[in-house]
Each structure stands twice: as structure tokens, then as C-alpha cells.
Amino acid sequence: MPHPFRWQPGEGQRHATLKPRPKGGFPDDAQIETLCGTQITVDNSDVAWLWTTCPECNRGAHELAGTPIVPG
């Protein structure tokens, strides 16, 4: 079963959002709200997917998925 959130890079980090992804993905420069409450500008560049994950979005995504965060 798919999770209700999806990952999207923007503002220098990978964030999670509940916003439904449009067919073909969010366009560059679209504004979306994230699980951490930040409004980000979408960045679909190749390197953006390598950015670090927003810790607050990561916590929210794990809560929604019902999966604990493994300390590392």
C-alpha cells in the first residue's frame, strides 16, 4: 500500500509532502507545503535528489508510515 506522502527536493533538502503529485511530477519552481510546515520551491535537478533529508519531514514521514527511525 503506498504511503500518503511523497518526497520532493527543494530549498536545499529533500522534503516530504502530502500534496498529490501531478502526472509527470511537480513542475520546477512550483510551490508546495511540506510535512515540516515549510513552503518550498520545487527543484527537479539531478543533484537535488542527492541533498540531505529534512529531519522534520523524515520524522513526519516515519510517523505516517508507522515505522520507527533507526538511530544511526
Give 3-72 as a DSSP string: -S-EEEEETTEEEEE-SPPPTT-PPTT-EEE-TTS-EEEB---TTGGGSPBPHHHHHHHHHHHT-PPPP-
- pLDDT at res. 55: 97
Domain assignment present for residue 72? The answer is no
CB atoms inside a 10 Å sphere around CB 51: 16
Question: Would you say 7 and 41 are in contact if contact means Cβ atoms under 8 Å apart?
Answer: no
Domain assignment present for residue 25? The answer is yes
Domain assignment present for residue 18? The answer is yes
Domain assignment present for residue 12? The answer is yes
Model confidence pLDDT, tens digit, residues 13-58: 999 999 999 999 999 999 999 999 999 999 999 999 999 999 999 9
Domain assignment present for residue 71? The answer is no
Q: Show the domain range for 49.
A: 6-65
Domain assignment present for residue 17? The answer is yes
User: What domain count does the chain have?
Assistant: 1
pTM strictly above 0.85? yes
